[in-house]
A and B are shown apart, each in its own frame.
Chain A
Amino acid sequence: MSLTRTSGSFDAVVVGAGPAGTSAALGLARGGRNVLLLERGEYPGAKNMFGGMMAYCPAAEELVAGFWEKAPWERAVTKRTLSVMGEGSSTSLVFRAASASDRPSVGAGSTSDRTLTGFTLFRPVFDRWYAEQAAAQGVTLLTGCRVEGLVKSGDAVRGVRVTGPDDVIETPLVIACDGALSLLAKEAGLHSGFRTEQVALGVRALYLLNEEEISERFGLAGREGGTCEFLGCTEGIRGGGFVYTQTETLSVGLVVHLDSLKERNTPPYELLERFVSSAPVAPLLRGARLAEYSAHLLPEAGMRMVPRLSAAGLLVAGDAGGFCYTNGLVQEGMNLAMTSGLVAARVAAEALAEGDLSARSLARYQKELKRSLVLRDLATWDRASGLMHEDRLFTEYPQVVSTLMEGLYRSDGAPKQRLGPLVRRAVKDRLSLRQLVADLFRGGRGYL
């Protein structure tokens, strides 16, 4: 390893070349700093299985001019469907943004509203491209390099260990963007390890299908993309399902709370098997060929799991900081990762210029994040994220919705009823009045 023993030559070492790490490295390099970006995969993105949608993110354009015109995304998402699956029926809500999606520049401007657009993308392609942008700005990228741990002097982080106990890269500042297990922050004592009730397990199958067929099947034009989210498809385990469109592939999978999965004694791939063959999903996959399978953990507990985010010589960004959430309606993570990386770069640049990388100096990182969308969004949806830990949302409520909608549409010769009696019948035997009132109250507090 040629980069070891180059003590002191890097202003900062960033661990993990995902969106957070590459953003941090890029931000610092643009300010003229000498940055080393370490990635344990053979190339950036090799370890990534993200199958979702990245929300439009202004931070990206601050780091790379014309980001969305250049970045290798798959489809620009303008159509989002949320479905609630009950036993005998499912009910969906479809959002559709007006777009000029027949143009190749969709989502990158033109007449479509890019702030309403998300992007599906392949991380092995995207992360690699993004790291190349960082390298072009002078970042030194070293792949195939596993960080073993931190080098410390007293309480201050002074570098990282990379292979054996003697291989040390010294640096005044480490930015830990090492993903959802957040092992470096744990080693630094910023948290005591994420727990099963704070993370979700995502499993995903990738299917091949041709581009025109996907557009037709999902009602999309040009490079438009669609996302489908499903509630009530996890057999009572807290979680949800998804089908996302890429150019000529579909990402199909489930995200389930790990504590709930552990309690229920159910293998995740068996849940996935039943999900892909369920009535709402199977027709979307007809004729598609299974191509890859993957799994990953996601931070899911909102503000409650966010660790301390800095120590002397150390900043934490991306999933490692717990910057990923869902409130049942919105799932965001990549934009928070990139924004946190950018904020980390700004704070690091200031602190390096002042020559003060003490715990006290770097504590301003947390303050800056509180001003940015990263911790504000987590705080905004904190109660709603908490609601995702309520079992009834995944057991009783999908059935309530189904029963209600079936009551509304059923035409069996009996006289129709208004919504009041239909709701009462749907709720009866499933929820006590007390539970219903409590859930409505909590729902109101979470979303309103």
Chain B
Amino acid sequence: MIVDDLFDLVSYRTHPEPHIVVDSEVCRGCPHRACTFTCPARCYTWSEERDRMEFAHETCLECGTCLLVCDREALDWHYPPGGYGVRFRLT
């Protein structure tokens, strides 16, 4: 299986503040929660226990998939501050 290795191979300079803020209130009523399976970095997880959308900004690849699949405007979406976020070394 390569999937679990994939995510460990990416290099980041993480900013303490998340660059995307999720309004879980909106996600609660979302019928598809497509961000949880379309995000190529597995950043979104729906927590049944906490009844909210968990977003791991540290591993975001900044592709914008979530911004486009979210049709309920639950995201306050920004790129990370300048110089922060993912940094591709080889690609």
A270 lies within 8 A of B3 (CB): yes
- The CA of A239 and the CA of B87, in the complex, are separated in Å by 26
B68 → A minimal CB distance (Å): 5
Of A261, A276, A296, the contact of B63 (CB 8 Å cutoff): A296
Contacts A144-B83, A290-B5, A293-B9; A196 near B68 (Cβ below 8 A) = yes
A122–B32 CA distance with the chains assembled, in angstroms:
36
CB-defined contacts of B42 to chain A, threshold 8 Å: 267, 269
**Most chain B CB neighbours (cut-off 10 Å) among A123, A162, A258, A266:** A258
Q: Are B87 and A262 in contact (CB under 8 A)?
A: no
Give the size category of B's interface with A: 35 or more
Instruction: Contact check, A49 vs B83: say whether CB atoms are below 8 A apart.
Output: no
Q: Given A205-B6, A269-B40, A295-B40, A262–B34 Cβ distance below 8 Å?
A: yes
The one of B65, B79, B90 that contacts A201, using a Cβ cutoff of 8 Å: B65
A143 near B64 with CB under 8 A, answer no
Contact of A293 (CB < 8 Å), options: B10, B78, B79, B87: B10
Contacts of A297 in B (CB 8 A): 63-65, 68
Q: How far is the CA of A50 from the CA of B88 in the complex (A)?
A: 10
Assuming the contacts A195-B68, A205-B2, A297-B64, asked whether A47 and B86 have C-beta atoms less than 8 A apart, the reply is yes
Which of B10, B13, B41, B88 counts the most A-chain CB atoms under 10 A from its CB? Answer: B88
Partner of B91, one of A51, A193, A262: A51
Most central of B2, B32, B82, B89 by chain A CB within 10 Å:
B82
Most buried by B among A41, A261, A272: A41
The interface residues of chain A lying within 8 Å CB-to-CB of B6 are: 205, 269, 272, 290, 293
In the bound complex, do residue A47 and residue B90 qualify as a contact, i.e. CB atoms below 8 Å apart?
A: no
- Tell me if A258 and B79 are in contact (CB < 8 A): no
Report whether A267 and B90 are in contact in the complex, using a CB–CB cutoff of 8 Å: no
Q: In the complex, which residues 277-299 of chain A have their Cβ closer than 8 Å to any Cβ of chain B?
A: 290-297
Whether A273 sits at the interface, judged by CB under 8 Å, is yes
Q: Is B58 an interface residue (CB 8 A)?
A: no
Q: What distance in Å separates the Cβ of B8 from its nearest Cβ neighbour in chain A? A: 9
Interface of B is mostly: loop
A292–B91 CB distance below 8 A: yes
**Least Cβ distance of B35 to chain A in Å?**
9
- B interface footprint on A203-228 (CB within 8 Å = 1, 0 otherwise): 11110000000000000000000000
For chain B, residues 61 to 91, give those with C-beta under 8 angstroms from any C-beta of chain A: 61-65, 67-69, 78-83, 85-91
Answer whether A292 and B90 are a contact pair too, CB < 8 Å, given A261-B38, A262-B38.
yes
Interface string of B8-23 (1 = CB under 8 A from A): 0110010000000000
List of B residues within 8 angstroms of A194 by Cβ: 68
Given A205-B6, A258-B38, A269-B6, answer yes or no on A122-B91 (Cβ-Cβ < 8 Å): yes
Q: Which of B1, B38, B91 contacts A268 (CB 8 A)?
A: B38
**Residues in B whose Cβ lies below 8 Å from that of A146:** 78-82
Asked if residues A201 and B63 are in contact (CB atoms below 8 Å), the reply is yes
How far is it, in angstroms, between the C-alpha of A291 and the C-alpha of B34 when the chains are bound?
Answer: 28
> B38 contacts A201, CB within 8 Å?
yes
Give the residues in chain B near A268, CB-CB below 8 Å: 38, 40
B5's nearest neighbour on chain A, judged by CB, is A290
What are 27 sample pairs from A and B whose C-beta atoms fall under 8 A apart?
A: A41-B87, A42-B83, A46-B87, A47-B85, A47-B87, A49-B88, A124-B88, A124-B90, A146-B80, A163-B82, A181-B67, A194-B68, A196-B69, A201-B40, A204-B91, A269-B42, A273-B1, A276-B2, A290-B5, A291-B90, A292-B9, A292-B91, A293-B7, A294-B91, A295-B41, A296-B63, A297-B65
Instruction: Known pairs A145-B82, A262-B32; list 12 more (Cβ under 8 Å).
Output: A46-B88, A47-B85, A49-B88, A123-B88, A144-B82, A162-B82, A258-B65, A265-B37, A269-B3, A269-B6, A273-B3, A297-B64
The chain A residues found within 8 Å of chain B, CB to CB, are 40-42, 45-51, 122-124, 143-146, 162-163, 180-181, 193-196, 199, 201, 203-206, 249, 251, 258, 261-262, 265-270, 272-273, 276, 290-297
